[in-house]
Structure 1
Amino acid sequence: MYRISYASLALGLALAFVCSATACLADAVPVTGAGRTFTTTADFALGEMKSVVTDPPDQLTLGIVSETEPFIWIANHTVGTVTKIDTRSGAIVGQYYSSRLPSQVLPNNLTGQIDIPAQGSNLQSPSRTAVDLDGNMFVANRAHVQTGCQGSITKIAGSKAYAIDRNRNGIIDTSTGAGDLRSEDECVLWTAKVGKPNGWVRGVAVDSENNVWAATFNDAVLYRFNGETGALMQAIDIKAETGNSAVQIYGIAIGRDGAIYSTSIDAKWAARTDPKGAPGSRIRLQQTAFQGYGLAVDANGVQWIGRWDPSGETNLQMIDWNTNPPTVGYRSSSYGGRTRGVAIDGNGFIWTANYDQNALLKFSPAGNFLAAYGVATGPIGVAVDSLGKIWAVCQTSNTCTRIDPATGARADFSAGGEPYSYSDMTGFQLRNYAARQGSWTVLCDGGSYAAEWQQVSWNAEAPAGTLVKVEARATESLAGLDAQPWVLLSSGAQLSDVKGRYLQVKATLRIVSGSASPTLYDFTVAAPRPGPEPQVMDIPSAKNAGEGTV
């Protein structure tokens, strides 16, 4: 008789995978023994440090630039979809409808709302995307193509860890690349209606608390939604509060002070709104000389707005809201034509999309013109990726262009068809100019199948306006790690039903307001209990296969 342990067999398969997988994963995700404390600079080097540094030594603090996830999310406006592109390779790694089915849309109890357009319809007309602090994406559906349509906003998971296994089959059923569109994609988390029909949702941004704001163009109302659930939390009616019926909202951005900055394309108004201020005094308006298009806010709370007027060489409008009244200025280059998207990189340089000249223009932090880079035809949106490279979404050519500022090297990629995207498409603006965030991640090997993890503890300092968040997930095989959801931990608390040979723990450091960084001093992962003894089952030998029993 042969004696085979099915548990051992599963462990053997897992180990076979580790032997091949760790060759490519070891550098990025080191596997280390469990039952140890991480407290020195050398200890922390065993994990993956993302936008955190050991300066001073033997502790973790936030670095100067906060790295985002290596993806850009581009709205495809005439086909009602969103395309996810790996910014390292330029490959399309997912395509999604920009909403769930109309019957699945969240209610938010605003009077006058109607059903959203059909999933995948050109009537959805998605245009703005924004990425949150977890790498998840929000897309605003303008619904402006036909009179009487209902606008909406949709959240799409940035990784399988944040997806929902709705059919409970143990896997996340989701898009795997170009053309793989699914009406029941488990990474498309929720859709919520925004405002009333004919509002035209033309603004979306994520705040430092990881909630999302959407804004309507015609009504000029800012709506705050819970980033997790999609529940409506707040509404600010700019027209009603200011008595200015001409104000519109063409785009929004959020600054480090938590204020929401907006533009009006036709009426030539800009606004700064303090969502925590008192009604009647929380909104400031400033008229500009030119039509405003895309916008970004720098570390000093200065608003930079693209000039849409076609004549002249003025590319940027600047509003410094720190003075009263605000200081208004204009910046020019030798490149005439209309400016659309605006973004600010990690060094404070300002990048704009020159639509008529098919160029990305680079300006100093003070707004002085520095250089121009050729891109594909019809650039509209601009974004900064995780490596500091600059992306332009090019509508006319149905492509996107990536520029390396260090070398000037250019690469062009498919944008998934009919691209039309503004706003914080990579999450870089949020992580560097609204909040700052970094993380340290370590993968521990428990040494046995079904290891029962006991406790994770740490010592940290979180000044006012900051936080330190620790999460964990366990798995038997590295192959299934990315699909496991994160579980929020409390320092020193007994872990409940966290089982698996491998435990991955992530500590996130975040500045919500102010400039002081949180600090992680040490981190301890207690050794797990070994998993249960393998169950041994008798399998008939070949000789007695016809007469034995299992």
Structure 2
Amino acid sequence: MRAAWTIGPCLTLLLSVGACGDEPPPSDSAGGSSGSSGGEASTGNPPPGATSDGTGTSIGSADGTSTGASTDDGDSSGPPPIHLDLGTIPDAPPPVCGGEGEGELSLSYIWIANSAQGTISKIDTATMVEEGRYQARPSNGDPSRTSVNLVGDVAVANRNGGVTKFWANPDDCVSSNGIPGIQTSTGPGDVLPWGQEDCMAWHTPLACSSNRPAAWTRGVFNEAECTFEDMDFWTACDSNVLLLDGETGVVEETIPIPGGFPFVYGGAADADGNFWGIDTGMGQLLRVDFNTLALEAWPLPPNWGYGITVDSIGRPWVCGGGGVSRFDLVTHTWDSAGGSGIGGCMTDGADLIWHGNDFGLLMGFNINTLAVDEQIQLPEYVHGVSVDFQGNVWGVSFAGSNAYRANPTTGAVDVYGGLIGAYTYSDMTGHALSTVGGGGIPTG
């Protein structure tokens, strides 16, 4: 349901954390051209000490020292972890809401697509335990981008067409498979067949050869219920940008991209609900106004771009290969730092945008100066980058089995090694959406 985004004063999300090179590794299975993805992504091997049984393990800090096993709540000196149904984000002012709503949040998960398996994994960001794995499409979905809304639910776009939403909170799941009670996956060992998963909210089939972007809008904050409502979902299907009703999955709006051969590779929403997309087919940055549905486009920077995100003051960024570029909303020009290539990026809601170069170095670029303020070395190249609500930076290996959690304060790196042909480089936790700024209305 389309609604202009508003948020009441009763919920403040104070979330902060502390954060690209040369020849890029192979691009994703579809490369940069239009058409469906070809072949099955290869699986990688976890580094020494990593597990594949649904738990995570520490592989040491940035200086090479071991920190031992890490399957607890993480660094005890940092902020407390956010768990399902906690109600508020630690250290944030408590909600002051009318009515009987409890203001529950389910934002302690990272959702990563197992492209080669056709599934997505739900991993607790504090414990690094995988708590569910779900089929993303009836078959041959090739899922990639995931997006998490502000109540913690996820939607995943399948490259071969189709978007699927899953509830994060088991209490929201509905018995729908004809068997009494709730049947739902509890981890990588019990992926339920299509049609048996009661925590699947909806699936919207889409007939397209490329369905990649995934971006929730914030929706409207209902103070009486102390929760977000009317959240919509942006995606793209070949040469059309689509807006889906977040509650039902129904396609509400279709916005054609004129001319040439567009290939919308990724997308993000600003705080006003506007869609920002990177069109690598025509080399342009796209913006669709949430209220008017007007589409605007500007050329990408000279060093091009691959990943996309929006920062805390509403500016879109593109990134790839160890470089980042920031779009000026007034002048419609770019400021860039670093090289070019592939890979995703994500802002921390404060001063940094995180991106990885081709040699596994996570770099935190200052969003104002473009200088590299922080660095964390990972064991391998990571294609997707995200930030969780504990302030950790996550990196997902390219078509591999590993997801890394890096603590920017200590440099400690933990690994979850149970993925299968993983590929995600979008807002996998919902943190970016929670801290994004309004994009305003570009003119000219």
TM-score scaled by length of structure 2: 0.70
| Alpha-carbon spacing, 1:82–1:388, altered in 2? closer, same or farther (3 Å) | same
Query: For 1:117-176, what per-residue CA distance to the aligned partner results, in whole angstroms no more than 9, with x for missing partners?
Result: x2xxxx311000001122111010001xxxxxxx10001111112211125665311001
Cα distance, 1:303–1:197 mapped onto 2, change above 3 Å? closer
User: What amino acid sits opposite 1:283 in the alignment?
Assistant: E
Q: Could you tell me which residue of structure 1 aligns to residue 386 of structure 2?
A: 383
In structure 2, the residue matched to 1:422 is: 425
CA distance in 1, matches of 2:420, 2:325: 31
Q: How does 1:322-471 map to 2 (within 5 A)?
A: 323-324=330-331, 326-332=332-338, 338-354=341-357, 356-366=358-368, 367-395=370-398, 397-433=400-436
* 1:161 maps to amino acid: D
How far apart are 1:373 and its partner, in Å? 1.3
SS of the residue corresponding to residue 161 of structure 1 reads: helix
Give the alignment's TM-score, normalised by structure 1: 0.57
SS at match of 2:390: coil
1:164 to 171, 174, 179: 174
Q: CA deviation at 1:359?
A: 1.8
Q: Secondary structure at the match of 2:189?
A: coil
Identity of aligned residues (%): 27
**Which of structures 1 and 2 has the bigger CA Rg?**
1
Do residues 142 (structure 1) and 159 (structure 2) align? Answer: yes
Pick one of 216, 234, 237 that aligns with 2:253: 234
Q: What are the Cα deviations for residues 245-271 of structure 1, in whole angstroms up to 9, with x where unaligned?
A: 243311000112322111123432112
Q: Gaps (5+ residues) in structure 2?
A: 1-79, 99-103, 220-230
Q: For the residues of structure 2 that align with 1:88 and 1:398, how far apart are their CA atoms? A: 19
More strand by share: 1
Alignment counterpart, residue 283 of structure 1, candidates 277, 296, 301? 296
Could you list the per-position Cα deviations for residues 513-549 of structure 1 after superposition, in whole angstroms to 9, with x for gaps in the alignment? 9xxxxxxxxxxxxxxxxxxxxxxxxxxxxxxxxxxxx
Q: Which has the higher helix share?
A: 1
Superimposed CA distance per residue, residues 403-446 of structure 1 (whole angstroms, 9 cap, x where no aligned partner):
001111111112421100121110111111168xxxxxxxxxxx
Would you say the 8 A contact 1:358–1:374 is kept in 2? yes
Match of 1:391, SS? strand
- Opposite residue 316 of structure 1, the aligned amino acid is V
Query: Residue in 2 aligned with 1:87?
Result: 125
Give the CA RMSD over aligned residues.
Answer: 2.9
Mapped partners of 2:181, 2:215: distance in 1? 30
Deviation of 1:222 after TM superposition, in Å, equals 1.1
| Higher RCO, Cα 8 Å, sep 6+ | 2
Aligned to 2:6: none
Contact 2:81 2:90 in 1 (8 A): no
Offset at residue 287 of structure 1 (A): 3.4
Unaligned 5+ residue runs, structure 1? 1-26, 30-46, 102-117, 144-150, 309-313, 436-511, 514-550
Distance in 1 separating the partners of 2:277 and 2:293: 19
**2:218 pairs with one of 208, 219, 239:** 208
Whole-angstrom CA distance in 2 between matches of 1:124 and 1:396: 15
Corresponding position of 2:16 = none
In structure 2, the CA distance between the partners of 1:278 and 1:424, relative to structure 1 (3 Å rule), is closer
| Alpha-carbon distance in structure 1 between the residues aligned to 2:344 and 2:105 | 21
Contact 1:315 1:331 in 2 (8 A): yes
DSSP-derived class of the 2:171 partner: helix
SS in 2 for 1:49: coil
User: Which position in structure 2 is the counterpart of 1:495?
Assistant: none
Q: Distance in 2 between matches of 1:93 and 1:140?
A: 21
Q: Which consecutive segments of 4 or more residues in structure 1 shift more than 3 A?
A: 51-55, 58-61, 167-170, 336-339
Give the Cα–Cα distance (whole angstroms) in 2 for the partners of residues 274 and 429 of structure 1.
Answer: 19
Distance in 2 separating the partners of 1:270 and 1:28: 36
In the alignment, the residues of structure 2 paired with residue 337 and residue 294 of structure 1 have an alpha-carbon distance, to the nearest angstrom, of: 11
Give me the whole-angstrom Cα distance separating, in 2, the residues matched to 1:160 and 1:403: 28
- 2:188: which partner in 1? 178
Instruction: Specify whether residues 161 and 253 from structure 1 end up closer, same or farther in structure 2 by C-alpha distance, changes over 3 A only.
Output: same
Q: Which residue of 1 aligns with 2:277?
A: 262
